[in-house]
Amino acid sequence: MKTTLEIETLIWQHLAGSALKAALTGGIYKMQRPSNSKVEDVVIVSLPVNNLALQGAVVNVNIHVPDLPVRANEVTGGQPHHTRLQQLAAQAIGILQDTWDEAGEWTWDVQQQNVFKDDEGGGHFVNIRLEFYSINS
């Protein structure tokens, strides 16, 4: 049986060896982002995995991007860095789409994607939702 920790590690290894890692100003992490990070980071979080013959899980790959500073009406605020969010999302989806291991025992594919405001860390993040499947041996 694959655990959520093993699934996160498989996806982390896949991304850590990719061009996405080089494109980021920050790092790629499992489960949580470093406190007070103000750079571009990827965080991989697996939701519960079942214990059926064909295991299934949903995994979130979140790409955090700081907002662009904008000054309007003598107040400085932030706006989503749309261009950078779009660039990193396209790159990540290309890397994550339809991935299989060499033995054919597990696979994942992109299920959906969306952008959210990051209320805790500031900025915005692209959420790429993966469907993960593994043969339970």
Distance in angstroms (rounded) separating the CA atoms of residues 96 and 118: 22
Distance in angstroms (rounded) separating the CA atoms of residues 99 and 132: 10
pLDDT at 78: 86
pLDDT at 89: 98
Distance in angstroms (rounded) separating the CA atoms of residues 130 and 11: 10
Burial class (CB within 10 angstroms; exposed 0-12, middle 13-18, buried 19+) of 130: buried
Q: How many CB atoms lie within 10 A of CB 110?
A: 18
Distance in angstroms (rounded) separating the CA atoms of residues 79 and 98: 32
pLDDT at 131: 98
| Mean pLDDT computed over 19-39 | 96
**Which runs of E-coded beta strand occur in the chain?**
28-30, 41-46, 54-65, 68-72, 75-79, 99-100, 106-117, 124-135
pLDDT at 121: 80
Position 48, amino acid? P
Average pLDDT, the chain: 94
- The yes-or-no verdict on residue 74 having pLDDT over 80 is no
Q: Where are the domains of the chain?
A: 4-135
C-beta separation of 85 from 63 below 8 A: yes
| Mean pLDDT computed over 46-54 | 95
State which CATH number among 1.10.3720.10, 3.30.70.1700, 1.10.10.10, 3.40.630.40 fits the domain covering 4-135: 3.30.70.1700
User: Residue 29: left if φ>0, alpha if ψ -120 to 50, beta else—which one?
Assistant: beta
List pLDDT tens digits, range 89-133: 999 999 999 999 988 899 999 999 999 999 888 899 999 999 999
| Mean pLDDT computed over 42-62 | 97
